[in-house]
Amino acid sequence: MSALGFIPDLLILSITFILILIYRIPLAKFFMKLPLPNFLTYLIISLPFMLFEENINCLPSGCRLIPPTIPFLFAFVLVLGIIIKFAKIKSFWWPTICFSIWGVFVEYTMGASSGQLASLGLIQNLFMAFWVALSYAYLVVVPIEILLLHKKPHSKSKK
């Protein structure tokens, strides 16, 4: 966790995640106004979420403005975006949940804290698995919505 401590970090990430989840569609529509291709917007918009989340959940090496995990997370988000772009995915929840599960798998097997996670008890492991899943979802909630809104056909208004 960051220098703020466990409880402030928990509150900051949890509350902002809930707000992002609630307002994901208006946020995505706002970012879709950028004069960029939607896939590029998806990738660019994922970066601030990565930086914020990674600086709340600091690595054992300490907090940095640009943590060394960003290239790996960016690669994961790129692959997820390619899957969403070319698959017939219309649901927001499935890619988000699958990405979160993938994140738990990565963090528990080869993540920077995998050794520390292995030494936790059952209750702490359950909390950390949930926390890691939430953290991975945090990265992609709005970016996924950008790709999915682009895929939806525009409804014609009746006059």
pTM of the predicted protein model: 0.86
Give the pLDDT mean for 147-159: 63
Note the pLDDT of residue 56.
81
DSSP H helical segments within 23-121, as ranges? 24-31, 38-56, 70-86, 93-109, 114-118
- Give the three-state DSSP class for 99: helix
Between the alpha carbon of residue 55 and those of residues 4, 27, 58, 148, the distances in Å are 11, 22, 5, 28
Which range is most confident: 67-71, 86-90, 144-148?
144-148
Q: Which of 107, 111, 9 is nearest to 17 (CA)?
A: 9
Split at pLDDT 50, 70, 90, the class of 158 is very low
State the average pLDDT for the chain. Answer: 86
Give the pLDDT mean for 38-61: 85
The helix-helix angle for 24-31 and 122-151 (nearest 10°) equals: 50
Note the pLDDT of residue 19.
96
Split at pLDDT 50, 70, 90, the class of 159 is very low
Note the pLDDT of residue 116.
79
Distance of CA 104 to the CA centre of its chain: 12
